[in-house]
Amino acid sequence: MEPNTLLDSVLDEAGISHAGLAAHINEAGRARGMKLRYEHTAVARWLKGQRPRGQVPDLICEVLGERLHRALTLDDIGLGTPGSPRAPATPLSGFVERATALWRSDEQQRPHVVAAPAVTGTPAVIPVWEWENPPEDSDVSRRGLTRVSMSDIDMLRAARAHYEQMYRKAGGVATRARVVGFLNAEAAPLLRGSYPDATGRQLHRATGGLVAIAGICAYDSDAHGLAQRYFHQALRLAKASGARGLGAYVIALLVNQSLFMKEYRQAVAFAESALRASGSHITPALASDLYAMQAKAYARLGDGAGALACIRRAETAADRIRPGQEPDETGYVQPGLVNVQVAEALLSLGDLGGARENAAAAVGTPAHDRGRVHRLAMLTHIALRQGDADRAVATAVEMTERARGMESRRLRDRLRAVREHLAESGSAATAEAAELIDGALRVPL
């Protein structure tokens, strides 16, 4: 079940509690000769995705519609019957309402939204399939109260860059609330505004970049279901914008999440979809990252030939990167990123020498603090596997100092993994480094 963010949003707009809605539903039912005894717990189940029985969805529309002084349809409250005709609205405008409802629920920290699990199987694949295949959006223009200008779009682009840098320096836990607040306050009114097709495409592209950052921050906060929904939203916005490169970037984020969730076959398939559908629109930086992540997935699946083939493709693409010719979104593919990805793949294949060579090259290349922590963690792990305790300790100490002050679940995962490997080593030096990491982990997020 997926959380019903539309119903949650309408409930909030109407200013009615769960218990209040249940009481009004019971009263409306009695007027129709029905004996209903709903309580607040039933409303909580509906918000989690359970569909009310019988005529209750119509009663919800009636009760909330009276409260808001406007007619509501089942689609408006997220209870439209699958396969039934939708209310007269374009698919894109309906998507906008659902997307902004999710942003609002996230900003208000609704537990059924924040704690929702990630979907797997067909529900996880459909958004990627819809992005890759027709139909395209022939016209994304809209008529609304606020007229959107290029200065508005420039503001969204600047905000994306700002929040990306904040994420890199402070982590996703600290950044998420800020970017989601910005989406609600600034991006949502613009999406509902007035704009011609050309402006609308740029608006959807700029908003898609911001939504992707919200997804990255949710992923970094361990809210994987929420992160996945943001990535799916960003993919739909990319399709509306017509920017195939942006869509491929979003799929790269989904590939990374699939690797974390150990969905290795899905990671390979998603990366292949991005590479295939983007064609000439994909940049060398993004291609190198996608191939490198495919290599990691193949290595985890035990397919050495597939992993090595992808490593060669990743290295070839990396040699063609020209930073000044890359879009803002691929700025994360900094020198050394492919090396650390390749090191992880080779480590899974048991090639410790090749893994160390690539990890050392990655650490020897300048990177922002967040990326450097991951690189140092990889080098520490490889050094321990090779029995080089001195190098492992020195690298672990630098890694810990770099990670201080960052509010990131993923970096804490890295620190814990390194701490466990150090503790297993059994020497006095590694025990001291493990204690240093313990101190860093005791700082609450």
Model confidence at 291: pLDDT above 60: yes
Question: What's the confidence (pLDDT) of residue 427?
Answer: 83
Query: How many domains would you assign to the chain?
Result: 2
In this structure, is residue 19 part of a structural domain?
yes
In this structure, is residue 132 part of a structural domain?
no
In this structure, is residue 285 part of a structural domain?
yes
CB distance 382 to 420 below 8 Å: no
| Mean pLDDT of the 373-396 span | 95
In this structure, is residue 124 part of a structural domain?
no
Look at residues 361, 379, 397 and tell me which one is the last residue of a structural domain.
361
What is the per-residue pLDDT across 392-406, written as a single tens digit (0 to 9) for each? 999 999 999 999 889
Model confidence at 70: pLDDT above 90: no
Question: What's the confidence (pLDDT) of residue 144?
Answer: 85
Q: How far apart are CA 405 and CA 318, in angstroms?
A: 31
| Mean pLDDT of the 2-10 span | 85
In this structure, is residue 427 part of a structural domain?
no
Question: What's the confidence (pLDDT) of residue 72?
Answer: 85
High-pLDDT (> 90) share of the chain, %: 78
What is the per-residue pLDDT across 99-112, written as a single tens digit (0 to 9) for each? 998 999 899 898 88
Q: pLDDT band at residue 273, thresholds of 50, 70 and 90?
A: very high
Q: pLDDT band at residue 419, thresholds of 50, 70 and 90?
A: very high
In this structure, is residue 126 part of a structural domain?
no
| Mean pLDDT of the 354-360 span | 97
Question: What's the confidence (pLDDT) of residue 90?
Answer: 43
Q: How far apart are CA 408 and CA 414, in angstroms?
A: 10
Question: What's the confidence (pLDDT) of residue 239?
Answer: 96
In this structure, is residue 292 part of a structural domain?
yes
Three-state helix/strand/coil letters over the chain = CCCCHHHHHHHHHHCCCHHHHHHHHHHHHHHCCCCCCCCHHHHHHHHHCCCCCCCHHHHHHHHHHHHHCCCCCCHHHCCCCCCCCCCCCCHHHHHHHHHHHHHHHHHCCCHHHHCCCCCCCHHHHHHHHHHHCCCCCCCCCECCCCECCHHHHHHHHHHHHHHHHHHHHHCHHHHHHHHHHHHHHHHHHHHCCEECHHHHHHHHHHHHHHHHHHHHHHHHCCCHHHHHHHHHHHHHHHHHHCCHHHHHHHHHHHHHHHHHCCCHHHHHHHHHHHHHHHHHHCCHHHHHHHHHHHHHHHHHCCCHHHHHHHHHHHHHHHHCCCHHHCCHHHHHCCCCHHHHHHHHHHHHHCCHHHHHHHHHHHHCCCCCHHHHHHHHHHHHHHHHHCCCHHHHHHHHHHHHHHHCCCCCHHHHHHHHHHHHHHHHHCCHHHHHHHHHHHHHHCCCC
| Mean pLDDT of the 272-279 span | 94
Question: What's the confidence (pLDDT) of residue 1?
Answer: 67
Look at residues 312, 336, 361 and tell me which one is the last residue of a structural domain.
361
Q: Residue 60: CB partners within 8 Å, gap ≥ 6?
A: 7, 21, 25, 46, 52, 77, 79
Mean pLDDT estimate for the chain: 92
Look at residues 88, 117, 138 and tell me which one is the last residue of a structural domain.
88
Burial of 169 (0-12, 13-18, 19+ CB in 10 A): middle
pTM of the model: 0.85
In this structure, is residue 42 part of a structural domain?
yes
- Which domain range does residue 14 map to? 5-88
| Mean pLDDT of the 301-314 span | 98
Model confidence at 88: pLDDT above 80: no
Q: pLDDT band at residue 89, thresholds of 50, 70 and 90?
A: very low
Model confidence at 325: pLDDT above 50: yes
Q: Residue 397: CB partners within 8 Å, gap ≥ 6?
A: 433, 436
Model confidence at 410: pLDDT above 70: yes
- CA-to-CA separations, 296 to 59, 245, 258, 282, 283, in angstroms, rounded: 51, 22, 11, 20, 20
Q: pLDDT band at residue 82, thresholds of 50, 70 and 90?
A: low
What is the per-residue pLDDT across 33-63, written as a single tens digit (0 to 9) for each? 999 999 999 999 999 889 998 899 999 999 9
CB distance 403 to 422 below 8 Å: no
Query: Residue 262: what are its φ and ψ, rounded to 5°?
Result: 65, 30
For residue 79, which amino acid is it? L
User: Range with the lowest mean pLDDT among 62-76, 82-96, 406-420?
Assistant: 82-96
